[in-house]
Structures are given as C-alpha cells and as structure tokens.
Amino acid sequence: MAVLVRGDGVAAYCAFQLLTRAGIPAIYERPSRPRLPVIMLSEAAIRLIADVFEREDLFRDLPRITSRAVLWGEAGELVRMPHSAVVVSEEMLLDQIRPPYESAALSDWPEWIIHGTRRLPHEAVDVNFGSRLGRALSVQLRDSRAPCCWVESTDHGWLFLIGNAQSEGWLLSVGCEPENGLAKSRLVAPQIDRIGVPSAAFPCFPRIVSPLGRSGQENWLACGTAAIGFDPICGDGTAHAVREAILAVAVIRAALAGAKVEDLVAHYESRLTAAFHRHLENCLPFYQRGGSGPWWLGELHGVEDGITWCRERLAQFPSFRYRLSGFELEKVS
C-alpha cells in the first residue's frame, strides 16, 4: 500500500514527512507553480512545523516582527499592539522542509491520495465567498526600525505592510490598486519611500472545496490551499495547512488500523469545515467595521454567506467521533 501526495507546498511536505515518520510508504508528485514573495509565519505555525519535522531550530535565527499598528474603519483610531512572527519568502520556507530525496516511482494505483495542489478530482468544486483580489509589491521604507507590520482600511479595500530592520518591506493591497489605496492612506503610505511593480492580481476571498474528501474506489483528501483559501486579514494560512496535513495523515493511519474509512473522511471534512467557519466568524468584524461603501458591503455579504453555508454544511455531519491526540486519531467514547 502506498499514499500519493500531490503538491509543492507546506501541506504536501508536512504530509509526506508524517507518512514517512509513521512508516507508511509515500510517493509525491511535485508540480511546479509560482511562489509567494513573502509569508509571515506566526509562532503557532513555527511550532507546528518544528514538531512535524522534529527541528526546533527552524527559523529561530530570523528577525521577528515585534509590533503591529492598525488603523481600521472610517472613524478608527490608531492601535498599536505587540506581535511576534517571522517573515520569509515561500521559497526559503520550502527549502527548509523539502524532502531531501526524490520519491520512488508509482508502481500501482495508491490506496490514498492527498491532494495539496489544485488538480483535484472532478467532483470537487470551489465554493467562493466574496470577490476581492490582491496585489503584492516590494517597497522601500522611509526609516530603518524594529520590524513591524501596519494594517489599514481604505474606501475600497485594505492595505497590509510588512517591514524589517533593513528598511525593506512588502505591501499587500486588497480590493484597491496599490497606488489608489496609498493615495488615501493615513498610516501605511507615510511609512513608504518607494514602491516596486505590483504582482498580477490573485484571489484574497475565502473559499473552500466541496467535498474535501471521498471514500470508495479512490480514497482522497484535499489539503492545504487545495482545500481552503483563507482571507489574509486574519488567516494564518500556513498554520492551518500544517494542521490539515496532520489530520489527513492521522485519518490514513486510523484507516490502516481498521477504522471505517467513510466515518474518517466525514470527520476530516467536518473538522476542516468547522475551522473554516471559525475563520469566517473571525473575519466578520473586520468587514462590518472596515467601511460603509459598496465594496465593503459586497464583501461583508460574502463573509455572511460563507458563515451560513458552513452552518448548513456542518448540520449534515454527525457529531465528532474522533479527537486528535498528538499525530493520531483516537475514538471518542
């Protein structure tokens, strides 16, 4: 028996690592894809990755974001708060955890497939909640200072700036073109001296795949960005991707130990749907307070539609029959 892992991201690499640690034959396909220029790793994400790869040294020598400044809403006041995260490029992140060897060729059809890439089975469809797009660009900051990030709402979207002690940074502009957003900015624009060329637009709206897995002749699970797209306003996508990989491998281990596959896939899907629901609930206040114009109202309705969809979907699942203990599932008595 072998498990095929498809993907070239955090979720796929974590799944492959955990399968290997558990002694389960694993094969991976690594399709090429564009890299994100920058990722902000939370402390939770760093701890999860370190646990999966048994490497407490990961990212510990990199400079940390130490504070966060937020100016939100039409009458919002500036709020400063402590923050702790590491900023890395996606390429640097994956270089640290990429499997050190190529997997063997697939001799026969695998018993399980973990999809960490968008090439999903035909029955899996995207369910989108909103239409907001983002653009990323490098910037030169005016001052060299302790690493910080700045978040600000505008009339037609929001800006998220990450800086470091070398006066360099990255700007994410969601909803509005970067130049238009900066023209009306009170917080982010004063931090920037020069801007680079914006990237192509990419989706920043929440989305989920349905179904997230299937049992039968072909057992498969969607994982990472192939399963769920989080809103970057309050989503820790990397930590979620690692948790999904941990749960996916725990499901496969439980199936190999004799648990009913149909129940395990239902548990996986309900757990991911519940996590997506919590994410949308966390996003809701930002879109309620961000602004009163058509853009904000439209995106707010998208978040509300997502919350309703999750509640209806969760009502179709049985109560949780398993709980995660470390990297294994155990039956709830």
Going from the C-alpha of 84 to that of each of 40, 87, 144, the distances in angstroms are 10, 10, 18
Same domain, 242 and 289: yes
Residue 316 lies in a domain: yes
Same domain, 137 and 172: yes
Which range of 117-121, 142-146, 158-162 scores highest in mean pLDDT? It is 158-162
Same domain, 99 and 214: yes
Residue 46 lies in a domain: no
Q: Give the mean pLDDT of 268-274.
A: 97
Is the CB of residue 135 less than 8 Å from the CB of residue 198? Answer: yes
The last residue of one of the domains, among 179, 202, 225, is 202
Q: Write down the pLDDT at residue 36.
A: 79
Distance CA 3, CA 249 (A): 10
Residue 303's domain is classified under what CATH number?
3.50.50.60
pLDDT at 144 exceeding the cut of 70: no
Same domain, 223 and 306: yes
Same domain, 99 and 186: no
Q: Give the mean pLDDT of 254-271.
A: 96
pLDDT at 50 exceeding the cut of 90: yes
Q: Write down the pLDDT at residue 145.
A: 65
Residue 61 lies in a domain: no
Q: Please name every residue paired with 115 in a beta bridge, in sequence order, or none if there are none.
A: 6, 222
Write the pLDDT tens digit of every residue in 82-119.
988 988 888 989 999 988 766 556 566 789 999 998 88
Residue 64 lies in a domain: no
Which of the residue ranges 98-107, 245-254, 304-313 would you say has the lowest mean pLDDT? 98-107
Same domain, 189 and 241: no
17 in helix, strand or coil?
A: helix
pTM tops 0.75, yes or no = yes
pLDDT at 14 exceeding the cut of 70: yes
Same domain, 30 and 114: yes
The number of domains in the chain is 2
How sure is the predictor about 57, in pLDDT bands with cuts at 50, 70 and 90?
Answer: confident
The last residue of one of the domains, among 155, 182, 202, is 202
**Residue tagged 């990323």 (tokens):** 136
Residue 30 lies in a domain: yes
**Residue tagged 């490497």 (tokens):** 55
Q: Write down the pLDDT at residue 212.
A: 98
Q: Which residue has the higher pLDDT, 37 or 277?
A: 277
Residue 250 lies in a domain: yes
Residue 60 lies in a domain: no
Same domain, 251 and 298: yes
Residue type, 251: V
Write the pLDDT tens digit of every residue in 198-211.
988 999 999 999 99
Residue type, 83: H
Distance CA 194, CA 83 (A): 25
Same domain, 264 and 298: yes
How sure is the predictor about 166, in pLDDT bands with cuts at 50, 70 and 90?
Answer: confident
Same domain, 256 and 321: yes
Same domain, 237 and 266: yes
Q: Which residue has the higher pLDDT, 231 or 1?
A: 231
- Domain extent at residue 229: 3-37+89-130+205-331
The last residue of one of the domains, among 174, 202, 230, is 202
Same domain, 170 and 239: no
pLDDT at 73 exceeding the cut of 80: yes
Residue type, 301: H
Q: Give the mean pLDDT of 162-189.
A: 90
